Structure 1
Amino acid sequence: MKITSLDPAHCLPLPDAGMGALETERGNLPLESVDVSAHLSGLVAGVEVAQEFTNPFEVSLEAVYVFPLPARAAVTAFRMEADDRVIEGVLKERGEARADYDRALREGRRAAIAEEERPEVFTIRVGNILPGERVTVRLSLSQPLPYEDGAAIFRFPLVVAPRYVPGEPLDGPPVGDGTRPDTDAAPDASRISPPVLLPGFPRPVRLRLSVTLDTAGLNLREAASSLHVVQRDGDRLTLRPDERLDRDFILRLTFDTSTSLLLDGAGTFALTVVPPPVEGARTPRDLVLLLDRSGSMGGWKMVAARRAAARIVDTLTARDRFAVLAFDSFVEPAFDGLREGTDRNRYRAVEHLSRMDARGGTELLDPLLQAVALLGGGDEGRERVIVLVTDGQVADEDRILERTGGALSAMRVHTVGIDRAVNAGFLSRLAGLGAGRCELVESEDRLDAAMERVHARIGAPSVTDLSLKGLDVEPGTVTHLGAIFPGVPLRVYGRHRAGDTLTVRGLAGGAPWEERVPGTVVATPALRAVWARAHLRELEDRYAMGEHELEPQIVRTSLEYGVLCRFTAYVAADTRPAAEGGPEHRVIQPVEPVSGWEPPAGGALFATAMPMSVSRGPAPAAPAAFGPALGGPAPDSGQPLPSGPAPGQGLAYGAGSGQAMKGRRGRGFARAVPAGPQVVRAGHSLDSVRPQLTAELERLTAMRGMPDPLYLVDLGSRLAVLAHFLGGHAELAAVARELEAAGQPGTDLAALHRRTVEVLTALTSTHPFWKRGRPE
């Protein structure tokens, strides 16, 4: 791993912050431990998560922790324990909960608040922790276990991975305390971009994780963990000591299930339908394969992604038509348009894929738009399929859903997530929109088995055109029916008024098919919570796609069923004062670097790798040096995307999220992106990259104080990409080389900053963006 050297003169510690300045006898990070206790009963898991915070300082403290939870989990309870007191959390509308929390802190009372930022990303803030004091917050949640090919999977994420943040920085203060500024594409990027620990940091958070197995009458044949070593004592599995929070915990339970209808006796039902055996000719396909080759895909992930993509191409026949698009900060097609799946074309596609390496940023919106344009209206009798191979680490999820959701719902979308801390929530949402499947690959060892399943799923599903008859179902409460795929049971949740039998109908191989399922009443309160979370998720996806009038319904459903969502929050506030006024320090808990990730060139991943961030009073705005890591085309410019970096020139990728907060929640934040394909062509002129150069210049001129050396190193790599794209622009290449040396001791950063501004000014002075009142 390449570590950029820094001049000590440019890294002077602040009185209250900085590497080494926070050491105390009690340690220097607020999060002491994370304890996950899960009880698996059949295909439902009940989980309690306990996070213990400690204050090692001599003044009162507010701790902020950004952490993941399973995307399908329903958070149903929250409480805070401090000084022998237990304060139960109350679920409220998000703005009201924040006001309660802030009021408690001003009045010197302890308080904690839990908020959802994304389907898998949450934030907890704990305020007025006294010196030397320990405070524990507990979350209770229920989640369904996905079941495929004879195995149920309990997946519990443990780290929020950095996400690529597209767009231009927004004016005004950030809405969160993270290291990335909010942008027009991800207006709350500062909410889920915590600092990242340097690799090997000596005091990781103490992790305890246990799973209790209750087979609920099922014949359990095997329990296996793919990324951790577990110890088994009867029905209890525990994680070995000294594990770090740097990858997902994944447990596979092998057993046979069957078609069933569970009723909780309070109006909630859960239907499971095992796929019937269906034989018949497969429908010809028009397939577009999208391969993510961005910087976050480096190392084993890129190798696995290339292999996965090649395996998908091998499933094609001469009756199929296909296209292959590799993408990072631009889209690179293997050939123009859709081609027949002949041996020759498949060989060309696989050869194209074999040359892919990791670089650039994860600009996912444009390749999805190109895929939609390629598939168009589709030919009668041909199935339209999109297969996306990626880690899904993007911050603009809502913008992507808003721009592509309607079109994707008319196609079949399959996603293959490759990572040890994959963005499973977003990839599942995309697959759900397209009535497809999401397959997760957490290691190269799992790739072959996963690709066998993808091969089976990528064809036409076993049963389509599904409908339910029998129960007196409450309108608008049944979760998405989708389709039944080979090896994947159908799982449906809903609310009903009466009845105890359900009939499932559909088309299997073009012929009518139905199955009658009698109900069984079970004493499982978790069914209601699992249904409420699934129903809220569908409403939230519709909100993200533009149905903003659903917000009151989302809030009302969340409060009625006691399940946390993006517009509500749990708040626990003590009634007894513990301090005088608000906390004097605010600490942003850093997260572990993700296991298996390789940092891009220039050390960009660890640009925010301080052990913690501390401030007196309000949190400072994110520095300009941590702006969006990739200077993409200016929105509305209509300019083609550049061809990206040469092999080995990785670009920085950032972290962020794409949901906005109260007052900025996804309304009008997505500036227009040129519609239709933007395919790379030969013969590029300086005009084709002026929007990118202008974006870089705007960030440089917005910087205040001493330029950040790591930012300048990253900028050098990006300018080198553009110089390569232009066929070797001498002046741009020269300043890129100078910038890449910015991290060396003795470099005059101020002079280098001025020289870069002068060069970019000269190169962009004829561009219309530059004429809008920019200083000379």
Structure 2
Amino acid sequence: QQLCFSLFIVFLVVCWSVPLKSIEVELEVKDHVATVVSTLNYQNQEDKPLEAVFVFPLPGDAAVCHFSAKIGQTQIVAEVKEKQQAREDYDDALSSGQQAFLLEESEQSPDIFTLSVGSLPPGESASIRLEYITELAVQADDGLRFSLPAVLNPRYEPQAATVQVTSVPASQIPYSLSFSARVSSPRPVSKVESNCSLDPLQYLNKEQTQATVKLAGGHKFDRDVELLIYYKDAHQPTAVVEAGQASAKPGSLMGDPVVMLSLYPEFPESVMSSLSSCGEFVFLMDRSGSMSCSTSHSKPKETRIGSARDTLLLLLKSLPMGCYFNVYSFGSSYQHIFPKSVEYSDQTLEEAVKKVEEMTANLGGTEILQPLKHIYNQPCIPKQPRQLFVFTDGEVSNTKEVINLVKKNSGSHRCFSFGIGEGASSALINGLAKKGRGHAQFITGADRMQTKVMQSLRFALQPAVVDISIKWDLPKQVSATVLSPPITTLFQGQRSLVYAQLTGKSSEGAQGSVTVNYKLAGQPSKTQLHFSLKPAEDTGLTVHRLGARVLIRSLEMEEREDRGEKGEAVKEKVVELSVKSGVSSSFTAFIAVNKSDGKPIEGPLIHRNVPTPSKCFLNQLIQSSDCITHSFIYNNKNKDKSSYQDPDQQDPFLQLVSLQKASGCWLLDPALAAALGKTSEELDQSKPASVGCLWATILALIWLHASKTDSKGEWELLSLKAVSWLRAQNAPCVECVDAANTLLGCKVQRDVLGL
């Protein structure tokens, strides 16, 4: 009955005259910083005045810095106020017949915003302009990722309720999207890729440092729009100094210059070539009902749980001998394979793989807090650093509470997080990694999850960087106040950003430098960057607002940790900083009121919720009802679909991976023959007489190097384990490699294998 009622409500939503008619998005990317301007066009086609409410996603680390409305020829620029005051001003305006517009950030999750468009008269149109700034994250293949969120899935609350998000199937979204992007960088733009169809990239100069691109015609706003931007020589440290605001007081954040440093530490090859062989690896898998949704628009038959399960198999097989591990899964409740982390061996690996292969999306809601608490309550194993891997589609509402828990335990572990599918909360995924001293990845579109996850495993196996500190070398009259939280993590080839306020006057042509000191594998190391103190041109207040956003987020976290008098003082500081910088926070809101001399709008307001597109609509309806119904339907509907796969259709690569032993070797059996596309007789007949137990392992290695060259990042750790095992056998491999090449029709050399 609850499900039928939800369907009826959705039917009503679709049949309403939705006042939002179109969204126009202009993206400007300068190096790794994106400025996004969205224009939302509304029209009231009903015979009564209405209030439209739109709950929508934004990147969790975005700095929302402008909000305005245009009604006819009247332009109203919003101001930032304390949230309760802004709400009261909005209500007062509506009650007096004025038009008002309110934009506020969710108090629970910084990637959800609510836009209220009030008192739009019959036949009236309004254009809402929203601007935000965000940094672009570096991906495993060195691309910079920009995502324009379209999908906002309901966020599950542990109190058996859901955040009220009006969603409909993507095909029924009644408004259109136009999207264009301009990219510029000191380095040439190599290419721009997307999960959506794009018109050809247009270069604006012969150096190819500027380019434009836009969505191809006929695009449906049925998925997140993701761009991957590639520059030549992307890993170059940079510094941008931005002049302060002329009208702001010197000595204040907005009045002084602010510098943004992008640092790319490079570690010695001698250190990076030796990966750790110890650690406690804890894997936390989301098994809520929404994980049975498709991973992407381009692969409707590939489920999130299926892709995550395959990836977890690859991770388990890639772990080093000598480590410890455990696997947790969660939904409305949580489970673990072992009572506590166990030593990695053929027996424990086989038991874990069997349990993982049986995992389905049948555990109800998305309550991640309790399994995290249980993991943190387990005592750490001496000399086995804890590494936590979290796989989730991120549909939780208590984001800040979860991140705060991870931060409190950041001294005992590193957290690597993976957002699966469209609609994953960027605030949750990025927050887990940042506060857990790890790394975040998003798997959407046509991504292979394995590539990104294996990069994170490599990070986890890198020697930990400790004792990180920053030293500034500036002219005597200039001082730096760092706005960013302390750097707690450095990974090879990954960017670290530092924002700092520069107080004092510098002479023409003055120079400064910053040095990041740290210890790697017990040895002191450093990364240094020299930069000019001369402000860059045409940056507006981008760097200041990003710096303010970083400081606001740090203070908000501090306020959550102390709800007493100190917390109130921090909250007041956040409100003051938000108002002066014009950057949104969880304690403030943008409010715009049309105070022109027009006639008051009369008549009762009609309330209209503007829907967002849904990628997994059935699941959202089920989550709106109770967890028992949710779990029952998914247990029965998806049990076979998500767990069974015809062996004849299984990916040969994953088939081969599943056969590798914990030590790194393969056994000569019919399953291996099938994975290699041969018969057992062919393998036996081609085996050199003196080879012994090496034959199966060398066959597997030859096949990987010859057949999976483009995905080496996925199987490289498996290969290293196999080569290590082969070397330990102290047996000649020349004849074996030659015979394997002949059988498989390959030409892989021994030095390529590492033998």
2:183 maps to which residue?
A: 213
Report the CA distance shift for 1:470/1:405 in structure 2 as closer, same or farther (over 3 A).
Answer: closer
Cα deviation, residue 485, structure 1: 1.0
Aligned match of 2:444 in 436, 442, 445? Answer: 442
Whole-angstrom CA distance in 1 between matches of 2:12 and 2:54:
20
Whole-angstrom CA distance in 1 between matches of 2:633 and 2:612:
29
Whole-angstrom CA distance in 1 between matches of 2:323 and 2:187:
41
2:96 maps to which residue?
A: 107
Asked whether 1:157 is paired with 2:149, we answer: yes
Aligned match of 2:621 in 606, 610, 623? Answer: 606
- Check whether the contact 1:290–1:325 (CA below 8 A) recurs between aligned residues: yes
Whole-angstrom CA distance in 1 between matches of 2:290 and 2:196:
19
Aligned pairs for 1:285-434 (under 5 A) are: 285-299=279-293, 300-359=303-362, 360-374=364-378, 376-379=379-382, 381-434=383-436
Cα deviation, residue 134, structure 1: 1.0
2:226 maps to which residue?
A: 250
2:66 maps to which residue?
A: 77
Report the CA distance shift for 1:75/1:414 in structure 2 as closer, same or farther (over 3 A).
Answer: same
- Check whether the contact 1:298–1:598 (CA below 8 A) recurs between aligned residues: no
Whole-angstrom CA distance in 1 between matches of 2:502 and 2:403:
30
SS for the counterpart of 1:337 is coil
Whole-angstrom CA distance in 1 between matches of 2:431 and 2:130:
24
Aligned pairs for 1:597-746 (under 5 A) are: 597=616, 599-600=618-619, 605-606=620-621, 626=624, 629=627, 647-648=635-636
Whole-angstrom CA distance in 2 between matches of 1:199 and 1:540:
34
Cα deviation, residue 417, structure 1: 1.1
Whole-angstrom CA distance in 1 between matches of 2:628 and 2:128:
37
Asked whether 1:30 is paired with 2:19, we answer: yes
Aligned pairs for 1:467-546 (under 5 A) are: 467-471=469-473, 475=481, 477-497=483-503, 500-520=512-532, 521-523=535-537, 524=539, 525-546=541-562
Whichever of the two has the greater Rg, that structure is 2
Whole-angstrom CA distance in 2 between matches of 1:251 and 1:461:
32
2:239 maps to which residue?
A: 261
Q: Deviations over 1:503-552 (max 9, x none)?
A: 11111222101122112342323111111112212222333344533211
TM-score for both structures, normalised by structure 1? 0.70
Q: Deviations over 1:333-365 (max 9, x none)?
A: 112211112233223222211111112111111
- Check whether the contact 2:60–2:427 (CA below 8 A) recurs between aligned residues: yes
Whole-angstrom CA distance in 1 between matches of 2:446 and 2:376:
30
Cα deviation, residue 627, structure 1: 6.3
Q: Which amino acid aligns with 1:250?
A: E
Q: Which amino acid aligns with 1:565?
A: S
Cα deviation, residue 429, structure 1: 0.7
- Check whether the contact 1:465–1:483 (CA below 8 A) recurs between aligned residues: no
1:128 maps to which residue?
A: 119
Q: Which amino acid aligns with 2:524?
A: P
1:690 maps to which residue?
A: none
Whole-angstrom CA distance in 2 between matches of 1:349 and 1:227:
37
Gaps of 5+ in 1: 170-179, 181-188, 609-625, 633-642, 652-776
Whole-angstrom CA distance in 2 between matches of 1:199 and 1:484:
40
Cα deviation, residue 238, structure 1: 1.0
Gaps of 5+ in 2: 204-210, 245-256, 294-302, 505-510, 640-755
Q: Deviations over 1:544-585 (max 9, x none)?
A: 344533211211211121101111111110112444357521
Whole-angstrom CA distance in 2 between matches of 1:213 and 1:646:
44
SS for the counterpart of 1:221 is strand
Q: Deviations over 1:79-123 (max 9, x none)?
A: 100122111111111111111111111111111011111221101
Report the CA distance shift for 1:11/1:501 in structure 2 as closer, same or farther (over 3 A).
Answer: closer
Aligned match of 1:56 in 45, 63, 82? Answer: 45
Asked whether 1:565 is paired with 2:585, we answer: yes
Cα deviation, residue 477, structure 1: 2.1
Cα deviation, residue 452, structure 1: 3.2
Q: Deviations over 1:32-73 (max 9, x none)?
A: 111110111111111111111111210101100011112221
Whole-angstrom CA distance in 2 between matches of 1:159 and 1:482:
32
Report the CA distance shift for 1:607/1:591 in structure 2 as closer, same or farther (over 3 A).
Answer: farther
1:194 maps to which residue?
A: 165
Asked whether 1:275 is paired with 2:287, we answer: no
- Taking only aligned residues, the RMSD between alpha carbons, in angstroms, comes to 2.9
Report the CA distance shift for 1:225/1:311 in structure 2 as closer, same or farther (over 3 A).
Answer: same
SS for the counterpart of 1:470 is strand
Whole-angstrom CA distance in 2 between matches of 1:218 and 1:408:
36
Q: Deviations over 1:309-342 (max 9, x none)?
A: 2222223122211111111122221122111122
SS for the counterpart of 1:112 is strand
SS for the counterpart of 1:309 is helix
Report the CA distance shift for 1:578/1:139 in structure 2 as closer, same or farther (over 3 A).
Answer: farther
Whole-angstrom CA distance in 2 between matches of 1:452 and 1:207:
35
Aligned match of 1:232 in 201, 214, 222? Answer: 201
Asked whether 1:554 is paired with 2:568, we answer: no
1:591 maps to which residue?
A: 612
- Check whether the contact 1:401–1:545 (CA below 8 A) recurs between aligned residues: no
Report the CA distance shift for 1:395/1:35 in structure 2 as closer, same or farther (over 3 A).
Answer: same
Q: Deviations over 1:96-153 (max 9, x none)?
A: 1111111111111111011111221101101110111111110122111122442211
Cα deviation, residue 607, structure 1: 6.3
1:640 maps to which residue?
A: none
1:45 maps to which residue?
A: 34
Q: Which amino acid aligns with 1:556?
A: E
1:711 maps to which residue?
A: none
Q: Which amino acid aligns with 1:421?
A: G
Cα deviation, residue 241, structure 1: 3.2
Is 224-233 or 331-340 further displaced after alignment? 224-233
Aligned match of 2:84 in 77, 89, 95? Answer: 95
- Check whether the contact 1:159–1:245 (CA below 8 A) recurs between aligned residues: no
Whole-angstrom CA distance in 2 between matches of 1:351 and 1:489:
38
SS for the counterpart of 2:484 is coil
Report the CA distance shift for 1:353/1:399 in structure 2 as closer, same or farther (over 3 A).
Answer: same
Q: Which amino acid aligns with 1:239?
A: L
Report the CA distance shift for 1:421/1:646 in structure 2 as closer, same or farther (over 3 A).
Answer: closer
Whole-angstrom CA distance in 2 between matches of 1:332 and 1:20:
39
Report the CA distance shift for 1:582/1:370 in structure 2 as closer, same or farther (over 3 A).
Answer: farther
Report the CA distance shift for 1:226/1:533 in structure 2 as closer, same or farther (over 3 A).
Answer: same
Q: Deviations over 1:624-664 (max 9, x none)?
A: xx5664699xxxxxxxxxx999843679xxxxxxxxxxxxx
- Check whether the contact 1:304–1:447 (CA below 8 A) recurs between aligned residues: yes
Report the CA distance shift for 1:606/1:631 in structure 2 as closer, same or farther (over 3 A).
Answer: closer
Whole-angstrom CA distance in 2 between matches of 1:630 and 1:104:
44
Report the CA distance shift for 1:32/1:314 in structure 2 as closer, same or farther (over 3 A).
Answer: same
Report the CA distance shift for 1:578/1:533 in structure 2 as closer, same or farther (over 3 A).
Answer: farther
Whole-angstrom CA distance in 1 between matches of 2:393 and 2:265:
29
SS for the counterpart of 1:37 is strand
- Check whether the contact 1:231–1:239 (CA below 8 A) recurs between aligned residues: no
Cα deviation, residue 420, structure 1: 1.8
Whole-angstrom CA distance in 2 between matches of 1:340 and 1:68:
42
Whole-angstrom CA distance in 2 between matches of 1:199 and 1:439:
25
Whole-angstrom CA distance in 2 between matches of 1:247 and 1:580:
37
Kindly, what percent of the aligned residue pairs are identical?
24
Between 1 and 2, higher relative CO (CA 8 Å, sep ≥ 6) is seen in 1
SS for the counterpart of 1:592 is strand
Aligned length: 582
